[in-house]
Structure 1
Amino acid sequence: MSRMSLSRRQTLLGLAGSLGELSMPLTSRAQNAGTPVKLITSWYAQAEFGGFYQALAKGYYAQEGLNVTIEAASPQMNVPQLLAAGRADFITGYDFQLLSAVASGIPLVAVASTFQHDQQGLMTHAGVKDLSQLRDHPILIAASSHATFWPWLKNRFGYREEQARPYSFNL
């Protein structure tokens, strides 16, 4: 299959995914019916994955001849690697995961975008009134943020790379 050619299965799952998202292991009611498709989400259960589960619960995948299994990822899972290894047919992920994979020669293709804007936020301890006050403090940064807003923060507020600590999504 070429990069620009999508199968019926990919197109349908991508369209269903654009409705929204949620995440925990579920399998369609028709266990033995339809083409098997496995989706691994990029994180634990949360509202952004609701559309995938709603489509499963309403039987939309089965109506199109798909037997969909949805599995939630955990913080240390490398979901793009699982896709590249054939352990999933589709994943949810982040823009820089796809760009890094393609730059490394891994043949992954984006089929849908479910967000127009990926909001980011910063939380601090009480008493911090301005981002410039964090100049000499450790800052937990997600891996994807190193290519998005972290360079801007360093430039704007004088932060240093030594301040950055890995954010494991565990508050």
Structure 2
Amino acid sequence: MVQQLPFPIRTECPPGACTCDRERLLEDPAGDLRVLKLTREEEKRLIARIEAIATYDELRRLTGKLQDMVGIDLQITPSVHGVRTVRGLTIRLAERPGLCRKLRQSIPAAVRRCLDRKPDIVYAMLDAHGLLADPGLATSDAAGDAGAPDLLS
């Protein structure tokens, strides 16, 4: 039996078009229904909000709010082999019941558009992961290059 909810929920996808397990989630009394709060109108507002992000701190706050408010885990990870473009970042939503296929595509696409427009966010993200540090700079004095400035201090 499907439970009645005190808030509007996302309309179901056409049969066969999605693998979100919406019905199974609605039937589970212990299921986390927060993701269903993200209606199509809310999704449009979220996409606009993501595309308007201006700093890495804003992006981090938004990912935290997504997790807290609707239970969506947005994961953005740089490749350990280096990132030359935004395509070198892995942007995905963690799988969970109720998360529509369309959402799994539209949110990462909006993040990618934002990062394409604001490369400073990518640089800050790479710096936070320690991928912008040049290990050769740390040993410049040890190699006898006393005239070179120490950029790590």
Structure 1 length-normalised TM: 0.28
Higher strand share: 1
More helix by share: 2
Pick the structure with greater CA Rg: 2
Looking at both structures, which has the greater relative contact order when contacts are Cα pairs under 8 Å and sequence separation is at least 6? 2
